[in-house]
Amino acid sequence: MASAAVQSYRDLVLWQRGMALAVTCYKLTSEFPRDEIYGMTAQIRRAATSIPANVAEGHGRESTGSFVQFLRVAQGSLRELETHLLLVERVGIARTGIMEPVLAECDEMGRMLRALIRSLQGKGSSDGEQRRRLLDTHALFATPYSLSAHYA
């Protein structure tokens, strides 16, 4: 299968899945108690939106090293999101088991982030053409996934 060239961060499956995850988190938190609006609701939404935002911002940087740094920030936001999701389940804000598909998607995104970081680091930071080829390869790294079927 031929891969399409990456013209924008929006072509990256990692960004697309990050956006789908953020939408899912918004839907999930809309069911949280009103008194959590400035607590867990805000924390989860902030962490979830930070993931695709950092992928996009890093992609827009001119050096591969900067891109990798933003991907690492996205990894941190992903781990923060996972922690918040586990906590809301433990304290009873969310129904038991409802987080399972969301956490599975977090795991998959974590693997994708690690793989992209490793491949970018292994190829050097000075060759812009080489970076484009790597991103073209990762554009079809996995198929886009929508969690909305679980939370419609």
pLDDT tens across 23-74, in order?
999 999 999 999 999 999 999 999 999 999 999 999 999 889 999 999 999 9
Return the CATH number of the domain spanning residue range 9-141.
Answer: 1.20.1440.60
Three-state secondary-structure class, residue 128? helix
Cα gap 86→130, rounded to integer Å: 39
Q: Can you give the residue ranges of every domain in the chain? A: 9-141
Give tens-digit pLDDT for 68-107: 999 999 999 999 999 999 999 999 999 888 999 999 999 9
Contacts of 17 (CB under 8 A, 6+ apart): 105, 108, 109, 112, 142, 144, 145
| Cβ pair 96, 86 in contact under 8 A | no
